[in-house]
Structure 1
Amino acid sequence: MPSTSDPQTLIERTGTLGRIRLNRPKALNSLTLPMVRDIERALDAFEADPGIGAVLITGEGERGLCAGGDIRMIYDGGRAGSQEPVDFWREEYHLNAHLNRLEKPFVAFMDGIVMGGGGGVSVYASHRIVTERTRFAMPETGIGFFPDVGASWFLTRRRDELGTYAGLTGEPLAAADTIAFGLADSYVPSDRLPDLAENLSRLPASATRAAVSATVSASADAPPPAQVARQHASIDRLFAFDTIEEILDALAKDGSDFAERTLSVLQTKSPLSLKVTLRLLRLGRQETSLEACLEREFAATAAVLRSHDFYEGVRAAVVDKDRNPQWRPARLGDVTPADVAAFFAPSEEPLFAGVEGKET
């Protein structure tokens, strides 16, 4: 087990494989600003190295790839008026865009917990591998935040409402559902991952993505049956609306066990976060670039740092752990258009030069 003096990110080369190993297992490998910078530097080095054929990202320990950003740092930094949360988001979102445009094959072992920012370092991979231990989620509406790291892009690429469901409810998805939702590609039992990494490291440096795919396929199995995706038709019908009120009304009227469970889940979330998230998802669906979505999400983080619900949500989940957040406003009907509009003001310092989103 790594000590507190161990590096938070382990960067190495094994054969022709560039390895990025997130090394905070006691914190579920949650991302810090130094880790984001480590990954960026590693990607630059691997891309420039003709002896590297592919890049692999994994999480140390057996609990997960990454549980997201270091939310306690953002909580403490935001309350203190520190620049660190802004710097973290800015550099994390630049990293997400970098991963999305990586030319070399990029493999992510999405083993165990993959949440929030963990999705941001894996969903843009060319080869996304889940296991029997995978639990993928974007749970931000439960802490007064919104699904970020480009979620308004990667949850909206399909012509259905699965991403809307995932973004609003934050419910965890097992392996087959992660694949069905378009967020992963292959299922490999966790005990085969070491051999798969070794096989990838033996590919020639000139190996194509097809060669990497063939290597992954040789280790892959059919995943266990999907659970949430069995409700695909119901999700498409119940989440097709452009207001949270209409979605909740449809769920209340449906009467099925699935609808009742989903309604109960949504009723525990921050009303303001639900409204902001749905608007981000609907705007993201219209975009033609990840960068435009990240730009809008980054602008929205300024309102997060000023909001009551973010600090209350983190307090209830992480600080006091009483699991009893007191949202403000407490009811959807009390969330005003001005409350939501505050999250859609353009950033004074945009992320990407020359990138503009569609009308918000």
Structure 2
Amino acid sequence: MLRRPEAINALTLGMLEDLTRIFTDFRSDTKISMVILQGAGARGFCAGGDIKDFHAAVSSGEHQRFLELLRLEFALDEMIANYPKPVITMVHGLCMGGGIGLASHASIRITTPEARFALPEARIGYSPDVGSTLLMARAPGHVGEYLALTGTSFTGADAVELGFADMMVSQDRFEEIFEALPDFDSMPAAEIAAGIEVLFGFFAASPLASQQPWIDAAFCAPTVPEIIQRLSTMRHPAAAEALAAIQANSPTSLHCALGAVRAARTEDHLRSALDRELRVAEYLMYRGDLTEGIRAQVIDKDRSPRWSPLTVDPATEREIAALITVEQ
């Protein structure tokens, strides 16, 4: 259980260390047959990493300390993805950033239909991480690019449609799942998932699925400027909302996010995605947009970040392309 409900279970170094130790210990414990992960409190599963800690580290020159935290977090996400025992994650309320890293790499991923997932990193001058670029790359069509560039939230039904979750269960039935789990003891994860879905799952339509035609038409464009140009000519109301969201985000982050999602689609491997995301994270930590974005969205909350540069020049584009495509 993630137990920091007053902060929607935002992840700290101590929480990541505790989770790493628990998953490591449980892996070899013969008395443990499966692991269940939930978030405490009514507001959500996990709001991601503690952004204020992030800001404090980067603004005080402790970049390497925070990179070590990211390495620990990414290693935990990879451990969950490759865990030898079934890992069941049960998402309610808000699930953002690092919360998606914990929840969506598990072998059995349960969400409520009302849950809200989000990857809003470009809003703070950062780029999606925790293996989310691979999840977005695997989503239908070009919805992954749409999510990465706009930072738009999506529902539990969307999460199932996009591959971030396996099934929907009403939150008031979570306790029933716990009571039924002994019946699934020693079963493979796929059989446990099928059993839970038959007993407790239900269907709800994905709002994003109906929007895929215009999303694909715009977000299949090869570059951020071309995506913006296509959106500006569309008459679909949601296209105007997407355009406004993109134009409010850090231009440097947009280029990083688009490149990372498309590189992940080409390689389709979690370790490669995590390594790439770490390179992007280090690059962005030394740029002003990250501290400025957190200031505007989280510290001062004036929602008016002053991005620098306002547009990405060719030299910066080449830097981004190099760190995304070249192993270092």
TM-score > 0.5 by shorter chain: yes
Letter in 1 for 2:54: I
Q: Structure 2 CA distance, aligned partners of 1:317 and 1:307?
A: 17
Tell me which residue corresponds to 1:101: 82
Q: Output the amino acid matched with 1:319.
A: I
Number of residue-to-residue matches in the alignment: 326
Does the CA-based 8 Å contact 2:161-2:209 persist in structure 1? yes
Report if the CA contact (8 A) 2:143-2:212 is conserved: yes
- Displacement of 1:197 after TM fit? 2.1
Q: Does 1:315 find its partner at 2:301?
A: no
SS at match of 2:154: coil
Q: CA deviation at 1:130?
A: 1.2
Mapping of 1:149-164 within 5 angstroms?
149-158=130-139, 160-164=141-145
Counterpart in the other structure of 1:260: 240
Query: C-alpha displacement at 1:49, in angstroms?
Result: 1.5
Q: Is 1:90 equivalent to 2:67 in the alignment?
A: no
Q: Does 1:35 align with 2:5?
A: no
State which of 218, 221, 232 in structure 1 corresponds to 2:212: 232
8 Å CA contact 2:133–2:261 kept in 1: the answer is yes
Counterpart pick for 1:339 among 316, 319, 328: 316
State the distance in 2 between where 1:37 and 1:139 align.
25
Match of 1:181 among 162, 166, 171: 162
Aligned to 1:241: 221
Q: State the match for 2:178 in structure 1.
A: 197
Paired with 1:213 and 1:359, the residues of 2 have a C-alpha distance of 36
Distance 2:70 2:140 in 1: 28
Q: 1:303-323 CA distances to partner (integer Å, 9 max, x unpaired)?
A: 222111110110011110111
Corresponding position of 2:260: 280
Quote the Cα distance in structure 2 between the aligned partners of 1:96 and 1:179: 19
Q: Judging changes above 3 Å, is the alpha-carbon distance between structure 1 residues 343 and 41 closer, same or farther for their aligned structure 2 residues?
A: farther
In 2, the alpha carbon distance for the partners of 1:84 and 1:197 equals: 38
Answer whether contact 1:25 1:59 (CA < 8 A) is retained: yes
One-letter code aligned to 2:77: N
Q: TM-score, normalised by structure 1?
A: 0.86
Partner of 1:23: 3
For residue 188 of structure 1, report the CA deviation from its aligned partner.
0.4
Q: Which has the higher helix share?
A: 2
- What does residue 115 of structure 1 align with? 96
1:338 and 1:34 map into 2 onto residues whose CA distance is: 39
Change (3 A) 1:359 1:95: closer
Contact 1:131–1:188, Cα closer than 8 Å, also in 2: yes
- Name structure 2 gaps, 5 residues minimum: none
Correspondence for 2:126: 145
CA drift of 1:337 comes to 3.0
Give the TM-score normalised by structure 2. Answer: 0.94
1:63 aligns with 2:43: yes
Whichever residue aligns with residue 35 of structure 1, its letter is: M
SS in structure 2 opposite 1:29?
coil
Structure 1 residues 345 and 80: alpha-carbon distance in aligned structure 2, compared to 1, 3 A threshold = farther
Q: Deviations over 1:304-356 (max 9, x none)?
A: 221111101100111101111111112x3xx123324445666xxxxxxxxx9
Within 2, Cα distance between the matches of 1:243 and 1:164? Answer: 11
Deviation string, structure 1 residues 268-304 (Cα, Å, up to 9, x no partner): 1111111111111111111142111111111122222
| Residue from 17, 21, 24 that aligns with 1:44 | 24
Partners of 2:219 and 2:89 in 1: CA distance? 30
1:297 aligns with 2:277: yes
Secondary structure of the structure 2 residue equivalent to 1:108: strand
Structure 1: how far apart are the matches of 2:293 and 2:127? 12
SS at match of 2:89: strand
Check whether the contact 2:11–2:49 (CA below 8 A) recurs between aligned residues: yes
Greater RCO between the two (CA within 8 Å, min separation 6)?
A: 2
- Kindly state the Cα deviation for residue 124 of structure 1 after the two structures are TM-superposed: 0.5
> Compared with structure 1, are the counterparts of its residues 199 and 24 closer, same or farther at alpha carbon in structure 2 (3 Å cutoff)?
same
Contact 1:53 1:204 in 2 (8 A): no
On the 8 A contact 2:52/2:298 being kept in 1, the answer is yes
Percent identity reads 35
